[in-house]
Amino acid sequence: MSSYHIPVLLDEVIAGLNIKSDGIYVDGTVGGGGHSKEIFKLLNDDGLLICNDIDSEAIQEARTKIASDNVIYINDNYKNLVSNLHNMNIKEVDGVLLDLGISSHQIDDKTRGFSYMLDANLDMRMSKDAGMTAYDVVNSYSYDKLVEILFLYGEERYSKLIAKAIVKNREISPIKTTTELSEIAKKVYGIKKTYGLGHPAKRTFQAIRIEVNSELEQLSECITALTRLLKKEGRICIISFHSLEDRIVKQTFAELEKNCICDKSSPICTCNKKSEIKIINKKPIIASAKEIENNSRSKSAKLRIAQKK
């Protein structure tokens, strides 16, 4: 049985994309193909679906669900999508979906080293071909650098204490496994006795995973480039799972929607800034109570949709 997650906010995404049967649609993070499968059902023989993922295992899984001459698979980072599409002579598309973050399959596969609940070697690479691993971050980053990523990417209130504990433990012997790293965070939280925000290692693992995969690097630029790839009235749907991602999506959409950024006291516009999109939902769409009950992963999901002008 496939361990790929149930697609989050599926109905909302399909409605948000406003799919044309003969359109060109891009799923930049295909995962197990859940969203793509439903998009493909709405396309006719003139439609085209492009499925992209950095994880080769995700591409293999999606191929088992959607096999057609009208589907193109790309095994690459979604941040390279625009250049890859241009190389395929695709200059415009009707819709783009990005489902950011980590898949349930990656978490559940202990060999990938993403989970603080499963004992495994520290890895956390979304692409097995990538160089740096979580082991490298934990065992080679300076104290100051660890504090920085734990605070910025994990929003970890005890970033200094956890970084200090990591450095102290690795001086004795390298920290090799997810269990070792999880226990370090648990001991820090045990001293503080504040478990109200979930598992004490959750934010540490999130921060290190983001660092390993450069998840936030050039995200805003990528969203802008993909939005500019849309045809008039084309839609972009982006699902995020933590506040850092959602903030970037929100701010990028807001910047693209602005019409003029001149000083209001200026009698004429000299910036030539034109509004490029219409934001469809000012507040993010979240999962219903029923969906959260059926799929706990959807609890933190936020969907933002914009339409090209």
For the stretch 250-289, pLDDT in tens is: 999 999 999 877 777 777 777 778 899 999 999 999 999 9
- For each of the domains in the chain, give its residue range(s) and CATH number, in order of start: 10-101+217-308 (3.40.50.150), 110-213 (1.10.150.170)
Locate 44 and state its tokens.
């006719």
Percent of the chain's residues with pLDDT above 90: 75
- Per residue, the 3-state secondary structure of the chain, as one string, reads CCCCCCCCCHHHHHHHHCCCCCCEEEECCCCCCHHHHHHHHCCCCCCEEEEEECCHHHHHHHHHHCCCCCEEEEECCHHHHHHHHHHCCCCCEEEEEEECCCCHHHHHCHHHCCCCCCCCECCCCCCCCCCCCHHHHHHHCCHHHHHHHHHHHHCCCCHHHHHHHHHHHHHHCCCCEHHHHHHHHHHHHHHHCCCCCCCCCHHHHHHHHHHHHCCCCCHHHHHHHHHHCEEEEEEEEEEECCHHHHHHHHHHHHHHHCCCCCCCCCCCCCCCCCCCEEECCCCCECCCHHHHHHCHHHHHCEEEEEEEC
Q: Is the pLDDT of residue 20 over 60?
A: yes
Between residues 135 and 261, the one the model is more confident about: 135
Locate 271 and state its tokens.
């910036």
Query: Of the ranges 62-71, 95-104, 145-154, 267-276, which is most confident?
Result: 145-154
Q: Is the pLDDT of residue 104 over 70?
A: no
- Per-chain mean pLDDT for the chain: 91
Residue 1 confidence (pLDDT): 35
Residue 126 confidence (pLDDT): 87
Amino acid sitting at position 57: E
What average pLDDT does range 118-135 have in this prediction? 89
What average pLDDT does range 182-207 have in this prediction? 83
Residue 265 confidence (pLDDT): 72
For the stretch 208-254, pLDDT in tens is: 999 999 989 999 999 999 999 999 999 999 999 999 999 999 999 99
Q: Is the pLDDT of residue 136 over 50?
A: yes
- Give the bridge partners for 240, in sequence order: 302
Residue 2 confidence (pLDDT): 46
Residue 191 confidence (pLDDT): 65
Percent of the chain's residues with pLDDT above 70: 95
Residue 296 confidence (pLDDT): 85
For the stretch 32-87, pLDDT in tens is: 899 999 999 999 999 999 999 999 988 999 999 898 999 999 999 999 999 999 99
| Residue 93: band (very low, low, confident or very high) from pLDDT cuts 50, 70, 90 | very high
Residue 195 confidence (pLDDT): 53
